[in-house]
Amino acid sequence: MTDTSTAQATAAASGAAATEQFRTRQPTSASGADTARVDTLVTELLTAAHDIIRRHKVTYEEYNTLKTWLIQVGEDGEWPLFLDVWLEHVVEEVAGEDRQGSKGTIEGPYYIPDAPRRPAEATLPMRENEAGVPLLFQGQVRAVDGTPLAGATVEIWHADADGFYSQFAPGLPEWNLRGTVVADDQGNFKIHTVEPAPYQIPTDGSCGRLIRSAGWHAWRPAHLHLKVSAAGHQLVTTQLYFKGGSHVADDIASAVKHELILDPTPGADGNSREVTYDFVLDKA
Ligand code: MBD
Ligand code: FE
């Protein structure tokens, strides 16, 4: 990790961390790739690009701008960010087509496995006086038939009140706002955390440059990331958003679904909020 006193949250730093994190989890071997499948998919992708070039009479100047930009995306380590923001939502849509249980959505580039394990009622690792409105996020994990899933695992990770993720921005404790919460024998969990802020994707890298060049905005709505799993059931990767929050209706990553919008109520203590959301898992 970089020097926490001087390091800046830059696109290149978070991109390098996201690229490294992805590589360590993803086997590099291409063995088992189906030649016919590769032929079909790559040919169709290229044909779509050829068609766009013809229809829009793409110039050499534009072609070379694209080439320069693509080279720079790699140098910035922003391929994970680019792919997860602009393509993953459709991959997830296809992957989740036949699921009966809770809706999933994209994982994004900032998941880290093996966050600290905590019991069914737990406070996520956070700094003393962590900024943000305290949030009690509670619920139950069940099977599609309603059976509570004892000992289900709720992995949760989210940005802090400044929109930064631990291990992808400097100066944060390693596991800040990341945890693996183990539900009780009724599948219930109670997680104490703080509400995350909306997330602006880095503006100083290649993805930021694309966003500015196209006149788009760089924002995702505030969100909690989750992976919920239980023995004999399919893991669901999802996110939850906050009703009325900025960019819920125009997420740059197109990952909001109406089923995933929370509407927390004021907590008993007057300064916190709380919300209940149950997860339903399909059989494996
Ligand atoms: C995020 O926090 C995120 O969830 C996605 C999908 C892309 C960039 C940052
Ligand atoms: Fe995120």
Q: How far apart are alpha carbons 141 and 280 in whole angstroms?
A: 6
End-to-end CA separation in angstroms for the chain: 38
Number of domains in the chain: 1
Give the percent of the chain with pLDDT over 70. Answer: 96
pLDDT for 9 beyond 90: no
Per-residue pLDDT for 255 more than 50? yes
Residue 268 predicted with pLDDT over 70: yes
We report the CATH number of the domain holding residue 240 as: 2.60.130.10
Is 84 within a domain?
yes
Residue 35, pLDDT above cutoff 70: yes
Q: Which two tokens stand for residue 57?
A: 């009479």
Instruction: Answer yes or no: is 232 within a domain.
Output: yes
Has residue 92 been placed in a domain?
A: yes
Tell me, yes or no, whether 1 lies in a domain. Answer: no
3 vs 39: CA distance, rounded Å: 46
pLDDT of 3 higher than 80: no
Is 2 within a domain?
no
Residue ranges making up the domain that contains 224: 7-24+34-284
pTM of the model: 0.94
Distance 108 CA to ligand 2 centre (A): 6
Residues at CB less than 6 angstroms from ligand 1:
81, 84-85, 106, 108-110, 199, 201, 220, 253
pLDDT value at 249 more than 60: yes
Predicted pLDDT at 25 = 86
Distance 41 CA to ligand 1 centre (A): 26
Three-state DSSP state, 13: helix
Residue 199 domain-assigned? yes
Q: What is the pLDDT of residue 13?
A: 87
The Å distance, Cα 60 to ligand 1 centre, comes to 33
Among candidate residues 157, 155, 277, 162, the one with its CA nearest the CA of residue 224? 157
